[in-house]
Amino acid sequence: MKKNISDKIVEKFGDKIVVSFVKVNRVGINVDKENVHDLAKFIRDELNYDHVESVSGVDYPQDKEIEVVYHIGSYSDPSLASQLIVLATRAEREENPIPGKDATKLPTLRDIFYSVEFHEREVFEMFGVYFTGHPDNRRLLLPEDWADLPPLRKDFAIKGR
Partner 1 sequence: MTNEFLPPGLALQKADERIMTLNVGPQHPGSGHMRIIVQIDGDYIVACDPDPGYVHRGEEKMAEYRNYITNIPHLERPVIHDSCNVLYPYVLGVEDLLGIEVPERAKYVRVICSELNRCIYTMYWLAIYGIFLGHSTMFMWPAGDRELLIDLMEKISGARVTHAHFVPGGVRNDLPPNFEEVCLRQVNYFEKRIREYAAVFYDNPILISRTQDTGVLSREDAIRLGVTGSVLRASGVIIS
**Residue ranges binding partner 1 (CB under 8 A):** 50-53, 75-76, 81, 99-100, 113-115, 137-144, 151-152, 154, 156, 158, 161
Nearer to partner 1, 17 or 131 (CB): 131
Q: How far is the CB of 132 from partner 1 (least distance, A)?
A: 13
Cα–Cα nearest to 85, from 131, 36, 118? 36
DSSP state of 81: T
With respect to partner 1, which residue has the nearer C-beta, 35 or 56? 56
Closer residue to partner 1, CB minimum distance, 90 or 134: 134
CA 90-96-102 angle, 5° bins: 55
Shortest Å, Cβ 143 to partner 1: 7
- Beta sheet of 84-92, edge-to-edge order: 17-23, 26-31, 84-92, 65-73, 51-60
CB of 62 to partner 1, least distance (A): 16
What is the C-alpha separation between 96 and 107, in angstroms, rounded?
21
State the nearest-atom distance from the C-beta of 39 to partner 1, in Å.
Answer: 19
Pairing of strands 26-31, 51-60: unpaired
Q: Please say which residue, 3 or 138, places its beta carbon nearer to partner 1.
A: 138
